């Protein structure tokens, strides 16, 4: 789940914060959480051929609209279900989540009998994992990948932006805009400094609502895609009530029952404490 990094260090004692456990067995821990939500897959598809780009004035208008989608949304809470599907396997779990987008902070609780049975959280500096037995382990990881939890190579920050129905904060400066007749909308392609297409965003005809994001490696191989559906009003925003993250073998479907946008969040919510002290 986590990128390679330095071993855990024992932090100074701070009241109210869990002690780091030296050399935690992350694979075994994530397997325990995966019992609740599943695991899995990879992909090899490459970008399809692009239609001719839109004229510059139209392209600039679409880009400005796309980058402004739900831009004022910085915090949220939500409840719903997570469904994990891999070949021959399917798992569903009720879940509750909270998120702050800049910088990315998150918490996700998998719920059984009304109480969290496993949790993962990140405070922008460390990531915390609470096991079903109530114990907490922690590791340095500002923006962890969620491979072992969701079975997909999505980062916490990209998943937060996806759930908010907005473009992720992309490091790519060059983009092209093309008509997408199949989706009855427009396609925005973001390129890295070497000219490789890294992200393709499909939007409605006005550029005001995301329909799909597709992420590629620098060699053009598909990493994963995100599909958005069932948009509904939520406060001052329109938020998706169905988000699907998938590659060629695995699927994570988030079915939202209720959103609380612009939620007031205490930073302590992103730090997990042992359930029994």
Looking at domain 26-39+47-263, its CATH architecture is Clam (2.50)
Inform me whether the pLDDT recorded for 116 exceeds 80. no
What is the average pLDDT across 245-270? 94
What rounded mean pLDDT belongs to the chain? 81
Q: Where are the alpha helices (DSSP H) in 164-226?
A: none
d(CA 180, CA 144): 33
State both tokens at 115: 């109480």
Task: Collect all residues with Cβ–Cβ distance below 8 Å to 82 and sequence separation of at least 6.
Answer: 37, 92, 93, 95, 110, 252, 253, 254, 255
CB 203 within 8 A of CB 188: yes
Inform me whether the pLDDT recorded for 11 exceeds 70. no
Inform me whether the pLDDT recorded for 107 exceeds 60. yes
Residue 276 pLDDT level (bands cut at 50, 70, 90):
low
State both tokens at 226: 């995100």
Which letter does DSSP use for residue 15 in this model?
Answer: T
Domain ranges of the chain: 26-39+47-263
Inform me whether the pLDDT recorded for 260 exceeds 90. yes
Residue 153 pLDDT level (bands cut at 50, 70, 90):
confident
pLDDT, one tens digit per residue, over 163-177 is 999 888 878 878 999
Q: Which H helix or E strand runs over 228?
A: strand 222-234
Residue 268 pLDDT level (bands cut at 50, 70, 90):
very high
d(CA 154, CA 148): 10
State both tokens at 209: 């609502």
d(CA 106, CA 34): 18
d(CA 187, CA 44): 21
CB 212 within 8 A of CB 231: no
Q: Write down the pTM of the prediction.
A: 0.77
């Amino acid at each position: 789940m986590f990128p390679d990094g330095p071993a855990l260090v024992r932090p100074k004692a701070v009241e109210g914060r869990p002690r780091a456990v030296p050399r935690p067995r992350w694979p075994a821990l994530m397997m325990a959480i995966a019992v609740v939500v599943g695991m899995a897959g990879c992909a090899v598809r490459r970008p399809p051929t692009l239609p001719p780009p839109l004229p510059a004035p139209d392209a600039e208008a679409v880009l400005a609209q796309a980058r402004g989608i739900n831009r004022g949304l910085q915090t949220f809470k939500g409840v719903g279900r997570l469904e994990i599907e891999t070949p021959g396997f399917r798992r569903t779990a009720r879940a509750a989540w909270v998120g702050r987008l800049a910088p990315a902070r998150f918490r996700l609780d998998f719920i059984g009998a009304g109480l969290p049975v496993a949790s993962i959280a990140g405070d922008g500096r460390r990531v915390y994992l609470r096991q079903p037995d109530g114990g907490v382990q922690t590791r340095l990881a500002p923006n962890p990948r969620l491979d072992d939890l969701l079975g997909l190579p999505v980062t916490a920050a990209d998943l937060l932006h996806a759930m908010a129905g907005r473009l992720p904060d992309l490091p790519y400066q060059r983009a092209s805009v093309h008509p997408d007749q199949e989706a009855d909308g427009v396609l925005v392609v973001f390129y890295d400094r070497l000219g490789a297409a890294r992200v393709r965003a499909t939007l409605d005809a006005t550029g005001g609502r995301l329909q799909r994001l597709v992420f590629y490696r620098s060699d053009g191989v598909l990493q994963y895609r995100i599909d958005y559906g069932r948009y509904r009003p939520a406060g001052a925003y329109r938020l998706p009530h169905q988000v699907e993250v998938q590659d060629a073998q695995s699927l994570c479907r988030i079915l939202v029952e209720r959103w609380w946008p612009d939620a007031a969040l205490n930073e302590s919510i992103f730090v997990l404490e042992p359930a029994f002290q």
